[in-house]
Structure 1
């Protein structure tokens, strides 16, 4: 989603360092009293939210195949009707009972992140087209100077994925599968590879 130029100013980039969890998830870091709960934690929905409830889990994996233990992952997505709860979207039409944004630190023992959310709908695009249902991911960790942005698409949405305007712009089609989650039981698994043969496609936005 693009904001008007000048609406939001970009902050200077710097490495996340070892303090990202203290600033973004103080309760997770053992610091109580800043927020009642860490911002973005917990389910993105309530009992009135429209849409199919889903679980997303995964790891951020380095070039050596190791799961990072200190990564912080955020997601941003549309609601079940493909609308974002944002001032720049069609005001008042997005589901008011859906948060649309979540934040999760990786487990300090396993590195796994988990989100409880809903499956998004197709997102309107230019010229009457639609983007396939997807969820945007943003990743920070030690040594990453600028947060990495990528997307997760759904394996059962083959027809919609084939018509998605962003996926169509990826030159090397063999890399498209790095953006497709896999279904394991009742959960979608989406591992984000920072480097290596299975490096995830990242977007310069």
Structure 2
């Protein structure tokens, strides 16, 4: 019996079959008050852009409420989805149209800094990797999760201000590797 070889990819590039949808990158509709773009590139360990990765985001609305039935604080109406999904393009770029999230309580009840939870799916990964986006121009002091990251690596979690939002690149391995968390 002779078996054929299997693809070397584990999660990707099969992501493009059925997972993305047209308005997936829009956590809020275009023209929504306070909307910003978060854009970036997903890089592999050699520093090359990954053209077939996928970014998913989950976040609170500006008041700190999640669009989830278990959140007693509620959320901002039907225009706020709270979830975004964007595949990378040929240049490894993704984009998410959203609003800045509000402050939410941590497990101990202490406030967490404004952040967006991010899942990254890409070739060569058996499971997604999970990180957070914090914002360089917001008060991140007192955030227990960010404080748990060695000081020299925290910058990998900071989105940088741009003309119409923020830039957040993801490096899966190597120099400047993004900090990933257990989930």
Structure 1 and Structure 2 fold alike (TM over 0.5): yes
Unaligned residue ranges in structure 1 (runs of 5+):
1-13, 26-37
Q: Is the Cα–Cα contact under 8 Å of residues 119 and 133 in structure 1 kept in the other structure?
A: yes
Establish whether residue 112 from structure 1 lines up as the match of residue 107 from structure 2. no
Instruction: Say if 1:185 and 1:47 are closer, same or farther in 2 by CA, change over 3 A.
Output: closer
CA RMSD of aligned residues (A): 2.0
Q: Is the Cα–Cα contact under 8 Å of residues 24 and 39 in structure 1 kept in the other structure?
A: no
Instruction: Say if 1:112 and 1:47 are closer, same or farther in 2 by CA, change over 3 A.
Output: closer
How many residue pairs align between the two structures? 174
* Structure 1 Cα separation of the partners of residues 181 and 88 of structure 2: 22
Deviations 1:144-190 (A, max 9, x none): 11001000001111x3x1110111122x2100110001112222000
| 1:70-109 equivalent positions in 2, closer than 5 A | 70-90=52-72, 93-96=74-77, 97-108=79-90
Q: TM-score, normalised by structure 1?
A: 0.78
Deviations 1:105-164 (A, max 9, x none): 1012x111011111111112244421110111111111111001000001111x3x1110
Instruction: Say if 1:113 and 1:131 are closer, same or farther in 2 by CA, change over 3 A.
Output: same
Q: Is the Cα–Cα contact under 8 Å of residues 39 and 103 in structure 1 kept in the other structure?
A: no
Unaligned residue ranges in structure 2 (runs of 5+):
1-8
Aligned to 1:144: 125
Moved over 3 A (4+): 46-49
Establish whether residue 23 from structure 1 lines up as the match of residue 18 from structure 2. yes
Task: State the SS of the aligned residue for 1:67.
Answer: coil
Which is richer in helix?
1
* Structure 1 Cα separation of the partners of residues 15 and 107 of structure 2: 36
